[in-house]
Structure 1
Amino acid sequence: MLAQPFAVVEDRRNTQVLASLSVEASAAGLTAGQPLRDAQAMCPELLTRLANPQAEAQFLAVLRRWAGKFSPWVSEEAPASLVVDLTGCAHLFGGEEPLLHQVAEDCADLGLTVQTGVADTVGAAWALARYAGQPVAMSRTGDAIDQEAYATRARAAKRRHWTKGGAAPKPGVEAADLNRIAPPGKAHSVLAPLPVSALRIDPDTAENLVRLGLRRIGDLSGTPRAALARRFGRALVQRLDQALGMEPEPVSPAKPPLHFAVRLTLPEPIGLDTDIIAAVDRLLPELEARLKAKGRGARRVKFQLFRADSTMQTLEVGMARASASPDRIKPLLLMKLPDIDAGFGIDCVRIEAHVTEPLHDRQHRGHLDAAAQVNARLSANTALDDLIGRLGARIGLDAITRMHPADSHIPEKTSKRLAAAWSEPAAAPWPRAPTPRPLLIWRPEPVQGPDMPALPLSFRWRGRAHEVVTARGPERISPEWWLDEPDWRSGVRDYYQVTTGHGDRLWLYYAHGGALSSGWFCHGSFS
């Protein structure tokens, strides 16, 4: 039974196109970049799935770790390529050819197809893996300089077809079975018959080169570099030099992610709180040792409980300040004990610090009293951080905020709200305003009164009449001319502190008018 053609679809310029194809889909005549509706017209049984870049990146990271068995120098090249530096490693597998056979067998076991290439340079290996043994793509747009005009084709009938702009002759059996391993020092001869698109250049540059008759990499070797750089840019020359080994291109291995997790497998399932607390007490010191070995502190911790019925429960806590101390992590985990459902019993407990930050040791110098004062301040900060962590375990760290002063004379912009867990207390003192500011500030609400700058003796606000008893002001505040604030398009404001006969202490202002009409507004309340 033949496998069904399969393709991965992604959106490009508001059109769904084929991003990658299976072998069966390619055999059906489909190509990458083809619109989906055209592909379905050619192959009605085509099975498609939407592209998932996040999942593909995670899978490529898994393959990178697998490729570490061949060499410690492995880097990722999106979307689906790995670059491996085999220097000094191939002999461990019997040579380069047995190593490639091992790669092909492992990929076949994983259900993957693979194309490989081995050369002295990254560019040459990239070209061999993708273009070795394939015919050179031709341009039939009619403007290639080496294409014959229609009037001369009859006279040139005896010429070889590939000298008239046709496709080059197909390689023989030996070339079709081309080994994708370039001998040492033979990168130039191996790359010469490959198309110019094998140089990792953009498609427009490759198409322009083909139009000029420069179809193969060998055609570029004898072309002056200065002329190529002037016509097509420095990128073409750089890619050519990198492929031929004239410009270095080292392999930068991907740094393995830091992983901090500890696990305790139990001989018998547990379900009591005391047993879970005992497991936490055994795991946290080991987690602390692993974090301190890397100079890291936990910011978010996962508490995973594996039940006897093959199910799992995950609880997560966050900390206001990164720490590796069990005394600061344990209270947060214990707050999650009421949420634990042991079911038929828990046979494995796992704690993972999946979000970490560097920890910096602090050294205090100076007189004894000064050091004691600094230590007291640090202890107070630690207590506040622990309080934020405990509250965050209940309501979430994002719900706990703190205010910081902002550099603005606009009343509603004199402060900014920051997440308490991800910010420090304000170091500088709050700036003093020229006049007292109200306790509550809201968006300006219209006030019915005489449209004149003088403060009226009575006005109407929120459907209620008010009599002015006392007033203080005005304080003139101008808008920030470099910003376009919708609420400040009414121009300059004159603010008054007004006490009404009902006992309300309001913050009124008169807008002198600008892009919007003038009038009276209420901006806040002092009580």
Structure 2
Amino acid sequence: MPKRRVLSLWFPRLGAERLIRQDPMLAERPFIVLRDTGQMQVIASMNAHAQAAGLTHDQPLRDAQAMCPEVLTRLQNPRSEALFLTSLRRWAGKFSPWVSEQAPNSLLIDITGCAHLYGGEEPMLAKVQDDCVALGLSVQAGVADTVGAAWALARYAGQPGAQLRSGDAIDQEARATRSRAVKRRHWERGGAAPRVGELPAQSYRIAPPGQTYAALSDLPVAALRLSEDNKTQLLRLGIRKIGDLLGQPRAGLARRFGRDLVMRLDQAMGHQPEPVSPAAPPPRFAVRLSFPEPIGLEEDVLAALDRLLPRLCQRLKDKSQGARVVRLQAFRTDHSMQELEVGLARASDDPHRIRPLLAMKLGDLVSDYGFDLLRVEAPLTEHLSSRQMTGHAEAGRQVADRLARSTAMDDLLGRIGARIGLERITRVHPAESHIPEKSHSILAAAWSEPFAEPWPDYQLDRPALLWRPEPVTAPDTPAVPRGFRWRGRSLTLHHARGPERLAPEWWLDDPDWRSGTRDYWDIICAEGDRLWLFYAHGGAISSGWFCHGSFA
């Protein structure tokens, strides 16, 4: 069995280069991507020009602009960067099927038994480098026997050696030379470890099989993926290289620094397993049926659907999923393809509810030369409640609930939606507001449930039609006018009910409510109109009578 080999790919400028791919002009000047910490904006990623100008990761924006006034900035979009990393994971699948994402900017690939397909590990990494250059990405790679070692080599390989030359120790030098020794102090002898992202230009390192100790000994302790507290404590004790830890008693390390340090050390050296867990592929619900001879009649297509839909719905049931969108693809003998798509008002795994929707749109298919393959898939699904074991009483109650809850309305919505679109069908729900314009909310019928509770009493007296307040010609007094003009018509009062006083929301400045408090009246006119009038008592604008709606 081949020895396990792991490839770590680190994209140090992923956030900046993702935006540069969209706008190549950003690559011509120093460019940084900012992360908002809540108190200030710091650098999350940058291009090569910004790094050459001396900017560093996690540096505040104000310091970066002081060092490089011409720097270009963009805000970070973590979701878009995560989606871009997912697309890179799919690209990395050409090297091995075992690819795992490590947010925010790296990939882990188990290349055990795969390197020979490219002629070895070095040709494989050369291919990785060439692909990343074509994609406009900077990459650093490391190959080792363990995940921790590959991660460390990708980020810290190529640092200066840690061997101390004779006479370099400060306590062995004369007093006169100590000040000069402090000035040339290296990270291995008291200075800070190099920052990630300030690494040499060498793009990758390979640790030969079985030589993990030798490959990691000269790397800084930061390469062990330790917490900041552990790194600070180790530096204070003068432990700066991984090789300094390998000879220390494990019990003392665990007692002083905690189990995290020992665990990371064991993972890097291969004493504790750390698998590469690839992302599970998204479930796909699709079935197809090929024919020995082309078909073209609608009856034949329906007969094929009668065989395909039960298979598709069974796959949905096995995963406790219900289809919201069903797509039919018809492949013709002239190598062209037509497709139909229908939406369901409620997720369903019942073929008898899907078949009528597809049958309504079969007339849109053009079978000039006939179809030799049909494919049905559910690209959009929702989780359905799983089945549970219950007693006889509970099972009877559930059956009664299912019988009482008819799917006729959902099927009707689906049929209408297949013709005009589900997004055009809406329903109204009451809202928690006494303001007429905000007393209800309009929801998509296919993605909402009917309002189960009784409507509030104060909303039962609202008119069926509402519009923006229109001025009414009437005396400017709170008393209900006996006659008034509205929309060019003279109307006479027959009956009035009210008033209902409503005040505007004091915390909002609504232009329609700058007329102040309103007294609403339900007016029945002698001409047969039933209107909803109100008298505005005046505020930012003058008082007067207005018409706000009409009762159907």
- Listed as ranges, the matches of 1:12-411 within 5 Å are 16-18=25-27, 32-34=47-49, 56=84, 59-63=87-91, 69=97, 71=98, 74-77=99-102, 81-84=106-109, 90=112, 93=113, 101=120, 105=124, 108=127, 112=131, 115-118=141-144, 120-122=146-148, 124-133=149-158, 178-180=205-207, 186=213, 190=216, 192-193=218-219, 218=241, 244=265, 253-360=278-385, 361=387, 366=393, 374-378=401-405, 380=406, 382-411=407-436
**Which deviates more from structure 2 when the two are superposed, residues 258-267 or residues 445-454?**
445-454
For residues 98 and 344 of structure 1, the distance between their equivalents in structure 2, rounded to whole angstroms, comes to 43
CA 1:487 to 1:269, structure 2 compared with 1: closer, same or farther past 3 Å? same
CA 1:461 to 1:324, structure 2 compared with 1: closer, same or farther past 3 Å? same
The answer to whether the 8 A contact 1:498-1:505 is kept is yes
CA 1:135 to 1:308, structure 2 compared with 1: closer, same or farther past 3 Å? farther
Q: Which letter maps to 2:438?
A: K
CA 1:279 to 1:438, structure 2 compared with 1: closer, same or farther past 3 Å? same
CA 1:133 to 1:415, structure 2 compared with 1: closer, same or farther past 3 Å? same
Aligned-CA RMSD value: 5.1
> How many matched pairs?
442
Q: Which letter maps to 2:493?
A: V
For residues 15 and 60 of structure 1, the distance between their equivalents in structure 2, rounded to whole angstroms, comes to 19
CA 1:76 to 1:338, structure 2 compared with 1: closer, same or farther past 3 Å? same
CA 1:184 to 1:321, structure 2 compared with 1: closer, same or farther past 3 Å? farther
Task: State yes or no: 1:499 paired with 2:508.
Answer: no
CA 1:297 to 1:435, structure 2 compared with 1: closer, same or farther past 3 Å? closer
Superposed displacement of residue 514, structure 1:
3.2
**Which deviates more from structure 2 when the two are superposed, residues 473-482 or residues 346-355?**
473-482
Match of 1:23 in 2: none
The answer to whether the 8 A contact 2:477-2:544 is kept is yes
Superposed displacement of residue 32, structure 1:
3.2
CA 1:364 to 1:240, structure 2 compared with 1: closer, same or farther past 3 Å? closer
The answer to whether the 8 A contact 1:192-1:217 is kept is no
SS of the residue corresponding to residue 75 of structure 1 reads: strand
For residues 212 and 96 of structure 2, the distance between their equivalents in structure 1, rounded to whole angstroms, comes to 26
Structure 2 unaligned regions, length at least 5: 1-15, 29-45, 54-76, 133-138, 162-175, 195-201, 246-257
The answer to whether the 8 A contact 2:85-2:101 is kept is no
Structure 1 unaligned regions, length at least 5: 1-6, 20-30, 39-50, 137-151, 169-174, 203-208, 223-236
Q: Which letter maps to 1:408?
A: S
SS of the residue corresponding to residue 142 of structure 2 reads: coil
Superposed displacement of residue 491, structure 1:
2.5
SS of the residue corresponding to residue 311 of structure 2 reads: helix
For residues 126 and 54 of structure 1, the distance between their equivalents in structure 2, rounded to whole angstroms, comes to 19
Q: Which letter maps to 1:353?
A: A
**Which deviates more from structure 2 when the two are superposed, residues 322-331 or residues 302-311?**
302-311
CA 1:325 to 1:263, structure 2 compared with 1: closer, same or farther past 3 Å? same
The answer to whether the 8 A contact 1:60-1:76 is kept is no
CA 1:339 to 1:77, structure 2 compared with 1: closer, same or farther past 3 Å? farther
For residues 296 and 369 of structure 1, the distance between their equivalents in structure 2, rounded to whole angstroms, comes to 24
Match of 1:458 in 2: 483
Percent of matched pairs sharing the same residue: 46
Superposed displacement of residue 267, structure 1:
2.4
CA 1:515 to 1:83, structure 2 compared with 1: closer, same or farther past 3 Å? farther
For residues 198 and 55 of structure 1, the distance between their equivalents in structure 2, rounded to whole angstroms, comes to 27
CA 1:519 to 1:176, structure 2 compared with 1: closer, same or farther past 3 Å? closer
- Listed as ranges, the matches of 1:485-496 within 5 Å are 485-496=510-521
Structure with the larger RCO, 1 or 2 (CA within 8 Å, 6+ apart): 2
